[in-house]
Amino acid sequence: MNKILKKRQLTQNIHEYVIDSPEVSRHCLAGQFIILRVDDEGERIPLTICDYDREAGTVTILVQSIGYSTMKLAKLNEGDYIHDFAGPLGNATELEEFANIILVGGGVGSAVIYPQCKQLNRDGRPADIIIGARNKDLLIYEDEFRDNAKDLYVMTDDGSYGEQGFVTTKLKQLLDSGKAYDCVFAVGPMPMMRAVANLTREYGVHTIVSMNSVMVDGTGMCGGCRVTVGGQVKYACVDGPEFDGHLVDFDEAIERSKFYREIEQEHKCKMEG
Ligand code: NAD
Ligand code: FES
């Protein structure tokens, strides 16, 4: 059992939790994830590690309440306990070999680029960052990104804050302006990562994406998180979650991500009464 030490509401349906988890915090690195179960009958929810504090023994996660289990989790408060909190899982992000990186975060996927932006800043090589959301109220971690970025670009689909447009609108502008990035690290909804990969392919810029495929066991056994990369079968939980965006079969991944949508919707309706 792991205690919720802090809970903070970031948007209407996104909460940040600081979890007491000395074991995970001791070993985790940026890019890895945990799998939690709210109670002993709960489904397993994979969540990226947004931050960690080895001294305090804590791990920070961000949860968007969109389905039955995440809505159940949203009902828990500081002082409550999470039944299982297993990790760290997956591979850490590898950005050492790149000299001029831009991080791109779409919606709640921005949480995934946060630990990398902090790490790069700590290493004395802060990255340019683009974050985007449908509107101002859905933007997350703007202040935290600003504190750690070389240049921060904020985009909203409706123009209610920052500049109007998708994250790809800004990325294209920057690439066209001659910014010589040697790596784009993009995380967000799959259509966004596909759009980023399609764009950067034209410019020949190496692109890393983080695949949040459907996961069950998180150990490479169930096949739930299967993704085709460069024509080969890979499992996001053990081979990823990060892959070369130019090699990922996004059309297949997007189809697979819809697999449980109806069941999820049914459970969600029950939860909402
Ligand atoms: P969203 O749909 O609101 O999109 C966020 C931003 O992404 C948009 O504002 C836009 O800038 C960009 N975007 C979206 N579609 C685009 C497209 N077709 N072309 C170019 N840019 C595009 O995002 P949301 O509702 O916050 O995200 C929810 C999704 O993100 C869920 O499906 C969730 O599973 C996924 N997610 C992914 C990860 C990951 O590791 N890849 C992590 C957390 C969440
Ligand atoms: Fe089961 Fe990856 S979650 S194989």
**pLDDT tens string 85-128:** 999 999 999 999 999 999 999 999 999 999 999 999 999 999 99
**Across the chain, what does the average pLDDT equal?**
93
- Confidence class of residue 66 from pLDDT cuts 50, 70 and 90? confident
Residue 154: Cβ within 10 Å count: 19
Mean pLDDT of 125-139: 97
Class of residue 226 by CB neighbours under 10 A (exposed 0-12, middle 13-18, buried 19+): middle
Query: Can you give the pLDDT at residue 260?
Result: 63
Q: Is 266 exposed, middle or buried (0-12, 13-18, 19+ CB in 10 A)?
A: exposed
Question: Is residue 239 pLDDT above 90, yes or no?
Answer: yes
| Percent of the chain whose predicted confidence (pLDDT) is above 90 | 83
Rounded to whole angstroms, how far apart are CA atoms 203 and 91? 27
The stretch 246-270 carries a mean pLDDT of: 79
Which residue puts its alpha carbon closest to atom 4 of ligand 2?
A: 220
> What percent of the chain is modeled with pLDDT above 70?
95
Which residues of the chain form CATH 3.40.50.80?
A: 101-210
- Pocket residue to mutate for ligand 1, from 164, 166, 258, most atoms within 8 A of Cβ: 166
Distance from the first to the final alpha carbon of the chain: 28
CA of 271 to the centre of ligand 1 (A): 24
* 3-89 is a CATH 2.40.30.10 domain: yes
Q: How far is the CA of 223 from the centre of ligand 1 (A)?
A: 24
The pLDDT assigned to 264 comes to 60
* 209, 243 contact by CB (below 8 A): yes
Ligand 1 interacting residues, C-beta cut-off 6 A: 48, 106-109, 112, 132-134, 155, 157, 166-168, 187-189, 191-192, 195, 210, 212
Domain with CATH 2.40.30.10 in the chain: 3-89
Q: Which of 39-48, 182-191, 241-250 has the lowest mean pLDDT?
A: 39-48
- Helix, strand or coil for residue 208? strand
Q: Over 60: is that where the pLDDT of 268 sits?
A: no
User: What would be the CATH architecture of the domain defined by 101-210?
Assistant: 3-Layer(aba) Sandwich (3.40)
